[in-house]
Amino acid sequence: METNLTSSAFKELAAAASGIMNPAVDDWRSRGGKVVGYFCSHVPTEVLMAAGILPFRMRGTGSTGTELSDAYFSSINCSFPRHTFNQALKGEYDFLDGLLCISSCDHVRRVYDNWKQNLPTPFIRIMSLPKKVGDPQVAWYREEIQILRDELGKHFGVEISDDRLREAIALRNQTRRLQRQLYELRKREHPPISGAETLAVMVAGSSIPAEPYNQLLRTLLDDLAQSNGSREYRARLMVVGSELDDPEYLDIIEGQGGLVVTDSICYGTRTMWVDVDETAADPVGALARYYIQERPSCPRMNGDQARRSQFLQDLIREFQVDGVIGERMLFCDFWCAEHYMNKVDLKEVGIPFLQLDREYILSGKGQLRTRIQAFLETMGR
Amino acid sequence: MHDKHNKDAIEKSLNRYKKERDWFAFLLQAAEMMDTPEGKLQVKLLRILIDSKEKVIDCSENGKPFIAAYYCTAPELFTAMDLPWFMIMETPFLAASAPYITEDLEGTEEIGLGTDLCTAIRLPIYYIETGQMPVPTAVIGLLSPCDGTTMLQQVLRHNSAWKNVPLFSPDPPYSSDERAIKYFANELRQMVRFIEEHTGHKLDIDRLREVCEESNRCYSLWQEYNELRRAVPCPHGWEIGGAQAFAVSQCFKAGDPRCTDWFRQLVECGEEKIKAGRGANDYAPERIRLLWFDIMPYGWIFEFMPWLEFEWGAILVTDMFSNFPYTLIDTSSEETMFHDLAKRNLMDVPMIRQARGTAENFSSDIVRLVKDYKIDAVIWPGHMGHKDGAATAGIMRATCRDIGVPFLHIGLDLFDRRYTSVDEVKDKVSQFFTGMGLG
């Protein structure tokens, strides 16, 4: 990823995002800290934090092939779980003390089944995430979180009290607020940080403990506060889609003159646009409400498409977006149909939309550049 | 002017549906010429099917309430509420062999849907988006077993002609325990309240009891029939007793005495063949007993299944849609009925059973069926839409290795012959049988 940022905090964050293992995790483990990997931004990481466990969001960063996981998955499966499971089979995730899966999508939920049969990780669990956003679903998810709380407590020998949950919620909210401040800077005419650089910062946030992350983020915000970006651009873009953890993908888009100023992706606004209620008497209930009803949803949550569409339009207005790129991993049914609807909705409000299908690891860079150039040209930029 | 516009829209929405009815009427004519017990079963089934389509057409044309729903949304409740319904995915499930399907598949591509989205999802989306599906009074959506079904409901809700049609989708939990059953039973109760509110049809608990009792008779006969299919040679193959049993019990009018009667006749037919020592195909003796672990390849079934029998003596003894440990409904109270309907529709019905939750049922069903039915080979067709199954291929392969039965994973589209040609599928199957020394 090309960067002009000289901030040492940024460099540390970008380094954490560029691989799986990083010095902060090493340090955490050397002090006896436990690490639990998790898939999907609907996992209530606050419960892990309250148990004194480092939540580590699963990625396939650094993967170059799926030679091992191909024995379990098929060619019509999304390349994200295939690469990530391949990394696990190669031993890259041997440092995990546990794995927390969720019924997120048809591809990722099967990592749980294959992992359970093939890898000896001591604690492995899958959560049942509802597919609607009503009150009965909040009640169901509250029970799921409570079960997780009990099982984590039992397995790791810790008591996860309400107070500890509240502290974890407050700490995680602090992260969200700092991340929103970072996004606020991107509303400027010349943002001091690019889309690719922001993504690296966001990815790092799910790979290192919250306290040092928040400290690095504060330093970075101080470093950026007075500066303006020098990057010239042809259009302000928003990226919408699913699991995207590779800053280089956005770097290519930005290399063609399309500055990515905001997003609705699994590492972006959807994880931090609103906070969990810190004042609720029942912190478990607050988490359930947040993950089911309050945070911006993803297409797997049925009956919420109109709200999602409105969320995009609000971001477009706030960040003065000229065009939207809908990225989608091949074989993803959720985003296939969601982008089909996004295209219609955005056309109605006069916002150009480009859909890009991709593999998890960056390939076809030349083709990507051509598509972006053509998109910017059709926008008259 | 407004009325004329509405009338035109209704007429257009029924065009394809009527064509489908006519396709079944054509198949009925052909079946009526077969003077065999199996032919009579086909006739009976097609009459029930056509009758159910006629009812929906009548409702649509005359402004009577009807709903769109799915086989796994407790259809006994629709029967008890005397509410005509059709399955949103009816075409791929029941009519994918119709002559116009290729044209419709091309239509799905023209409207810009990704071709890696399941064909069984793309087809109904295409019909909805082009105004070729009857617009019902209310919709009961489906949120399992796959991501595609969830998106189908959302595209439907997004469509301008459907966006004001009331929609309720029962939420299926991922887990399979008592807590999940109770939660889903509550979702079904909400579904009933929703239907009552939007259609005016009320649920009478005594009527539900009658329907569930009839449905139980149906399922008991099905279970009895499935015992008969253990016989060597198997009395029936792909043509009768598999997919049809699923359709009769769940797709048209669950808990209808005509369906029970169909199963009774099916059992008699199977028994007679076993007594006579006859197998599925008098002209192709059984050499390989096959478990086809998915939906049948409806898009090209007539080119493939007879070939399996004649070329290899491979008899489809059982498949994913025709054999389950179905739970009978305890009709002693309203609570037990909702509980057991929830259990059946969450944990028993085909595809939902395997694909909704963790992969355990893929393995346990294979082990059970291979053992009970003396299966010689398991074929996982690898339909392009069954992505959770695709991610379970390694588990299925390992299961088959453990119990010593050959396993084949093909990779195809059950509804679209253009994805993997029928010749290529035949070639792969032939290589597999040859390599495994079968047949």
Which residue is closest to B177 within chain A, CA to CA? A128
**In whole angstroms, what is the distance from residue B389 CA to residue A74 CA?**
9
Radius of gyration from C-alpha coordinates of chain A: 20
Q: Is residue B178 part of a domain?
A: yes
A22-159 and A190-197+229-378 share one CATH topology? yes
Which residue is closest to B385 within chain A, CA to CA? A76
Residue of A106, A113, A303 lying closest to B146 (CB–CB): A106
**What Cα–Cα distance (Å) separates residue A68 from each residue in A90, A146, A275?**
8, 35, 39
Note whether B204 and B249 are within 8 A (CB). Answer: no
Least confident piece of the model among A346-360, B85-99, B340-354: B85-99
Please report the residues numbered 84 through 123 in chain B whose beta carbons come closer than 8 angstroms to any beta carbon of chain A. 112-114, 116-118, 121
Note whether B357 and B175 are within 8 A (CB). Answer: yes
Q: What angle do CA B296, B297, B303 make, to 5 degrees?
A: 120
Residue of A110, A300, A328 lying closest to B388 (CB–CB): A110
Q: pLDDT tens digit string along B126-155? A: 999 999 999 999 999 999 999 999 999 999
Query: Residue B233: is the preceding peptide bond cis (ω within 30°)?
Result: yes
Which residue is closest to A118 within chain B, CA to CA? B395
Residue B137: strand, helix, or coil: coil
State mean pLDDT over A151-159.
Answer: 97
Domains of chain A by residue range: 22-159, 190-197+229-378
- Does the pLDDT value for residue B167 go beyond 70? yes
Residue B133: strand, helix, or coil: coil
CA B240, B241, B244, B249: dihedral to nearest 10 degrees? Answer: 160
Please report the residues numbered 50 through 89 in chain A whose beta carbons come closer than 8 angstroms to any beta carbon of chain B. 71-78, 81
CATH number of the domain located at residue range(s) A22-159 in this protein:
3.40.50.11890
* B124 interfacial to chain A (CB closer than 8 Å): no
Query: Residue B235: is the preceding peptide bond cis (ω within 30°)?
Result: no
- The DSSP symbol for B383 reads B
Q: Hey, what amino acid is at B158?
A: H
Output the pLDDT for position B1: 52
Note whether B30 and B262 are within 8 A (CB). Answer: no
Contacting residues for B188 by C-beta, under 8 A, at least 6 apart: B74, B77, B170, B338, B341, B342, B345
Is B388 in contact with A106 (Cβ distance < 8 A)? yes
**In whole angstroms, what is the distance from residue B115 CA to residue B105 CA?**
10
Q: Hey, what amino acid is at B384?
A: M
Which residue is closest to A125 within chain B, CA to CA? B358
**In whole angstroms, what is the distance from residue A30 CA to residue A209 CA?**
13
Is B173 in contact with A106 (Cβ distance < 8 A)? no
- Does the pLDDT value for residue A100 go beyond 90? yes
Total domain count for chain B?
A: 1
Output the pLDDT for position B93: 84
User: What is the CATH topology of the domain spanning A190-197+229-378?
Assistant: Rossmann fold (3.40.50)
Tell me the whole-structure pTM to 2 decimals: 0.96
State mean pLDDT over B380-401.
Answer: 97
Q: Is residue B33 part of a domain?
A: yes
**In whole angstroms, what is the distance from residue A221 CA to residue A212 CA?**
14
State mean pLDDT over B204-215.
Answer: 97
How many A-B residue pairs are in contact by the CB < 8 A criterion? 151
State mean pLDDT over A158-162.
Answer: 97
Angle between helices A8-17 and A210-225 (to 10 degrees): 130
Radius of gyration from C-alpha coordinates of chain B: 21
The DSSP code sequence of B189-222 is HHHHHHHHHHH-PPPPHHHHHHHHHHHHHHHHHH
Q: Is residue B374 part of a domain?
A: no
Task: Kindly list the residues from chain B whose CB atom is less than 8 angstroms away from the CB atom of residue A327.
Answer: none
Q: Which of A70, A72, A110, A332 should one mutate to test binding to chain B, selecting the residue with the greatest count of B CBs within 10 A?
A: A110
ipTM for the predicted complex comes to: 0.95
Task: Kindly list the residues from chain B whose CB atom is less than 8 angstroms away from the CB atom of residue A76.
Answer: 116, 382, 384, 387, 390, 411
Task: Kindly list the residues from chain B whose CB atom is less than 8 angstroms away from the CB atom of residue A78.
Answer: 387
How many residues are there in chain A?
Answer: 381
Task: Kindly list the residues from chain B whose CB atom is less than 8 angstroms away from the CB atom of residue A127.
Answer: 174
Name the average pLDDT for chain A: 97
CA A268, A274, A278, A283: dihedral to nearest 10 degrees? Answer: -70
Angle between helices A210-225 and A162-185 (to 10 degrees): 20
Which structural domain, as residue segments, surrounds residue B45? 2-199
Q: How many CA atoms lie within 13 A of A345 on its CB side?
A: 22
Which residue is closest to A328 within chain B, CA to CA? B114
Q: Which of A142, A302, A344, A357 should one mutate to test binding to chain B, selecting the residue with the greatest count of B CBs within 10 A?
A: A302
Is B387 in contact with A131 (Cβ distance < 8 A)? no
Output the pLDDT for position B2: 58
Tokens 């279970």 locate to B223
Residue B88: strand, helix, or coil: coil
Output the pLDDT for position B187: 98
State mean pLDDT over B256-260.
Answer: 94
Is B151 in contact with A299 (Cβ distance < 8 A)? yes
- Does the pLDDT value for residue B99 go beyond 90? no
String of b and e for A334-361 (b: at least 16 CB within 10 Å)? bbbbbbbbbbbbbeeeebbbbbbbbebb
String of b and e for B14-53 (b: at least 16 CB within 10 Å)? bebbeebbebbeebbeebeeeeeebbbbbbbbbbbbbebb
Contacting residues for A352 by C-beta, under 8 A, at least 6 apart: A322, A323, A324, A346, A375, A378, A379
**In whole angstroms, what is the distance from residue B120 CA to residue B92 CA?**
5
Distance, in angstroms, between A80 CA and closest chain B CA? 12
**What Cα–Cα distance (Å) separates residue A182 from each residue in A258, B361, B429?**
19, 46, 57
- Does the pLDDT value for residue B4 go beyond 80? no
Distance, in angstroms, between B135 CA and closest chain A CA? 19
Choose among B139, B171, B413: nearest CA to B297: B413
Q: pLDDT tens digit string along A315-339? A: 999 999 999 999 999 999 999 999 9
Please report the residues numbered 113 through 142 in chain A whose beta carbons come closer than 8 angstroms to any beta carbon of chain B. 113-114, 117, 126-132, 134, 136-137, 140
Q: pLDDT tens digit string along A276-316? A: 999 999 999 999 999 999 999 999 999 999 999 999 999 99
We report the CATH number of the domain holding residue B191 as 3.40.50.11890
Distance, in angstroms, between B209 CA and closest chain A CA? 27
Output the pLDDT for position A361: 96
Choose among B97, B189, B86, B184: nearest CA to B139: B86
Which helix or strand (DSSP H or E) is residue B87 part of?
A: strand B85-87
Note whether A250 and A239 are within 8 A (CB). Answer: yes
Which helix or strand (DSSP H or E) is residue B168 part of?
A: strand B167-168
State mean pLDDT over B370-382.
Answer: 98
Contacting residues for B201 by C-beta, under 8 A, at least 6 apart: B65, B81, B82, B83, B195
Output the pLDDT for position B326: 80
Q: pLDDT tens digit string along A171-188? A: 999 999 999 999 999 999
Q: Is residue B26 part of a domain?
A: yes
Q: pLDDT tens digit string along B348-371? A: 999 999 999 999 999 999 999 999
